[in-house]
Structure 1
């Protein structure tokens, strides 16, 4: 599920990575491939809502999103296989899963007709939607005018909402390492 609409993706599960990407129909090749290291992946089931059924969240520091399987059986198979691969990989390496900040699952554009922060700004052709890279909320330009370096997601500072910017700034100034234990 992309921020605007569902898009088909092909997934390949290996014992240490999950590879996903677009399908090129003509030549049967897969392009724009993305790789998620399984040692960082967490998975959560998503409740069915309307015609969006058989969903689960893939959560990682680099990217998080919701995936919808064709059937409930396929959903359960993906969840169990991914969990098994993650557990086997962590056991093999003798490590526990990192408690690194995970990337948020973005709220779909269609779920917000106005800014989710100020609740005043209506979205239209001129007033565009933006996503906070820290919490995933859909916000207006004024409520997302700040940027912050989120090294798990990018080497450049990314757009964050004013609430997240304030939390990040306060955590940094107080010397707090884990943002959520500072609150």
Structure 2
């Protein structure tokens, strides 16, 4: 997911629905998420696992990110991974779908380190894919090659490895090797 808007092939959805599972609520970001979003995104471990979160996190970044998530020209739908259904924090991470073309999107996600290895990311990915809010035929994903846990999460969610690539990571200030994945939705 990106903190900076880009030009989309098609717009993301204007009305973004929430989705619930037994433990999680995927809901649109709200202004009240800024403090937890700042705390989690400012964690070096989170930033290093993404393309676009800078480290150190500039002041006001979370607020700008939330505002961009509601902009009429937004390029991706972004949901808070909310743990309140299971008595946890209201923001455990974020998950997004960036609209591409031809009924395709790219999924992105991160979870706060305090919730790693708890199944939260897996549950969020499976929930979003089950709901398929963009009515996708195909969903793509990429992970840095130094993150095999996320790669395993994707394959367990039905993604197929389709090749190697590379992506610029803002926090690392380098191009990082990635693995690319694809999931057919129909």
Bucket of the pairwise TM-score, normalised by the shorter protein: under 0.3
Q: Please identify the structure whose Cα radius of gyration is greater.
A: 1
Bigger relative contact order (CA 8 A; separation at least 6): 2
TM-score, scaled relative to structure 1? 0.27
Q: Which has the higher strand share?
A: 2
Q: Normalization by structure 2: what TM-score?
A: 0.26
